[in-house]
Amino acid sequence: MTDTIDFGSDFFFGSATSSFQIEGRSDAIPQGESIWDTFCAEPGRIADGSNGLVACDHVHRWAEDVQLMSDLNLDKYRFSVAWPKVIPTGTGAASAPGLDFYDRLVDELLGKGIEPMLTLYHWDLPQALDDVGGWLNRDTAYAFADYAQVVLDRLGDRVSTWTTFNEPYVSAGLGYVTGEHAPGHRNLREGLTAAHHILLAHGLGMERIRATVPDSDAGIVLNFTPVEPASDAPADVAVAAARQGWENEWYAGPIFHGAYPEATVEALGWDQSEVQDGDLALISAPVDVLGVNFYTRSVVSSVGQQIPFGTPRTEMGWEIHAPSLKRLLLWLHETYTPAKIVITENGCAMPDTERVDGVVDDQDRIDYLRNHLTMVHEAREAGAPIAGYMVWSLMDNFEWALGYEKRFGIVEIEADTLRRIPKASARWFAELAKTGVLPG
Ligand code: GCO
């Protein structure tokens, strides 16, 4: 047994989800197609051939889901707004039923004492905007700002934490470079353009947030996968440095330092022709909060990723390595000095095959969460300004290109009935959220 850890009353616990992964559709809320609807309809894109049409049916079960969060003693809930539900074709008139849906959700959360943390963009770009270039088109950044304004005007009086984007690295890198995500392009040059336009959209969105809700906490959510060379061999070190620049510094650099990481710009041979005067000033306007999503680390060599035989992994094949989270948090604190850090996602897909009395007995997930929370606490003790922790995810959901086969939830969604059944980890997390104390 290890010692118990008291996070104290100024630390919050919550959970996170995203629109496309949980909502599904309702006839009462007419919505536009998103790039993920299109992607799901393309044969071979999604491992189990599934889509987001029903997902967790949150669009109908949102009140029950808020009650669930309340039962789990959550302080905060991070969710994203679906742009195609609010402005079906990306630009132009807002849709009243879409805005009403989020309005009701926010009121329900506040009524149960759960603070909403809103993400404006979690990958579900309206298809109509992709039809005119998507993130390759600079105009999409301006469309994003106008969409942000619509949401701010409706919810700004009640939502106190606003983040612009979730994981631009994934939108640009997996969406435009590797093709694993929507819109499924495979072109590095496009990835660089998309990345810049997303950052520009972040800057434009921040301007709108500041102008509309000046007292709110505003920022962005970035994912980090610390990269380490497998050996001291110069070839391994060079690969690790290049990946570190693209995967971990490409967004934080412009936001916190007003510049793209130079060595990586050179390594990628980027001419920066899409960067216009004033863009970086806009992108680097101060943020109040940096959301950090962490799952794993990468150990790389000149021949690719190295995960030694016998290393513990999740169902995603990702190495389980909690100490990397502490190192990451301290590195972020020293390198970028964000005013406030929130762990906006951390969690794991596990087999979920053990059951006790019908309930998933996911001791492996509890271990994962406990070990990572311990590292969060240590980083906080060492001075990193970490305000809270949100588990990914509240419930099993649509895991993008992997469909419903990978389960990250602390609550099970029963196949067919979509009944919500808290797993052992949910009970464990509820106790932690209630007491603020991590049992030894
Ligand atoms: C993410 C995503 C989630 C994923 C999770 C697990 O922001 O990467 O927010 O949508 O489901 O990361 O892969």
pLDDT at 1: 57
Nearest CA owner, ligand 1 atom 6: 399
Ligand 1: atom nearest CA of 295 is: 12
Taking the centre of ligand 1 as the mean of its atom positions, its distance from the CA of residue 298, in whole angstroms, is: 17
Taking the centre of ligand 1 as the mean of its atom positions, its distance from the CA of residue 251, in whole angstroms, is: 17
Nearest CA owner, ligand 1 atom 11: 399
**Full domain range(s) for residue 53:** 5-438
Contact 320, 192 (CB under 8 A): no
| Cis before 284? omega within 30 | no
Instruction: Give burial (CB, 10 Å; 0-12/13-18/19+) of 274.
Output: middle
CB atoms within 10 A of CB 265: 18
Query: Which token pair is 112?
Result: 């149960």
Contact 151, 81 (CB under 8 A): yes
Contact 203, 157 (CB under 8 A): no
| 238 to 177, 242, 354: CA distances (angstroms) | 20, 6, 43
Residue segments in the chain with a per-residue pLDDT below the cut of 50? none
Alpha-carbon distance 77 to 17, whole Å?
A: 8
Closest CA to 91 of 55, 51, 133, 119: 133
pLDDT at 231: 94
The catalytic site residues sit at 167, 345
Q: DSSP of 43-101, one letter per residue? A: TTSSTTS--SSSTT-HHHHHHHHHHHHHHTT-SEEEEE--HHHHSTTSSSPPPHHHHHH
Neighbouring residues of 360: CB distance < 8 A, sequence distance ≥ 6: 352, 354, 412, 421, 423, 424
pLDDT at 53: 98
Ligand 1: atom nearest CA of 397 is: 11
In 3-state terms, what secondary structure has residue 158? coil
pLDDT at 71: 98
Which helix (H) or strand (E) is 162 found in, with range? Answer: strand 161-166
Q: 301-326 burial, b for 16+ CB within 10 Å, e for fewer?
A: beeeebbeeeeeebbeebbbbbebbb
Q: What are phi and psi of 429, to 5 degrees?
A: -70, -35
Instruction: Name the residue with tokens 């010692």.
Output: 3
CATH of the domain at 206: 3.20.20.80
pLDDT at 310: 86
Alpha-carbon distance 175 to 194, whole Å?
A: 9
pLDDT at 440: 78
Taking the centre of ligand 1 as the mean of its atom positions, its distance from the CA of residue 278, in whole angstroms, is: 31
pLDDT at 119: 99
- The domain total for the chain is 1
Q: Which residues line ligand 1 (CB under 6 A)?
A: 18, 21, 166-167, 170, 223, 293, 345, 392, 399, 408
| 83 to 20, 27, 129: CA distances (angstroms) | 10, 17, 11
pLDDT tens string 235-253: 999 999 999 999 999 999 9
Neighbouring residues of 381: CB distance < 8 A, sequence distance ≥ 6: none
Alpha-carbon distance 382 to 333, whole Å?
A: 10
Closest CA to 332 of 221, 182, 192, 193: 221
Q: 2-32 burial, b for 16+ CB within 10 Å, e for fewer?
A: eeebebeeebbbbbbbbbbbbbbbbeebebb
Taking the centre of ligand 1 as the mean of its atom positions, its distance from the CA of residue 118, in whole angstroms, is: 15
Alpha-carbon distance 428 to 72, whole Å?
A: 9
Nearest CA owner, ligand 1 atom 8: 167
pLDDT at 308: 77
Helices (H), 213-261: 234-244, 252
